[in-house]
Amino acid sequence: MEGKTATLREEIAALRQEVKGETAALRGEVTALRQEVEGETATLRGEITALRQEVKAEINTAFNRLMLVFTGLGGVLALLTLLR
């Protein structure tokens, strides 16, 4: 009976060590994945910032073109008024 108990204790101790090893490995993997996600997040934030600046530039360009069209339209209307 004592032999079986000693064997069971040894097996339990071995299993505990194995679980500790697996836990440490999982923590390492989680840490690595967390760092990878943080890196990807930083990259995406940079890309979003760049896209935001690009959109602002496009809106500014479109607004400037619209102002030119309105200025031209105002000039045409002024000429029509004078020629009338």
- Please give the structure tokens belonging to residue 7: 């064997």
Which of helix, strand or coil describes residue 1? Answer: coil
pLDDT of residue 3: 79
State the chain's mean pLDDT as an integer: 95
Residue with tokens 């000429």: 79
Distance in angstroms (rounded) separating the CA atoms of residues 5 and 3: 5
Average pLDDT of span 16-28? 95
CA distances to 6, 59, 73 from 64, rounded to whole Å, are: 86, 9, 14
pLDDT band with cut points at 50, 70 and 90 for residue 51:
very high
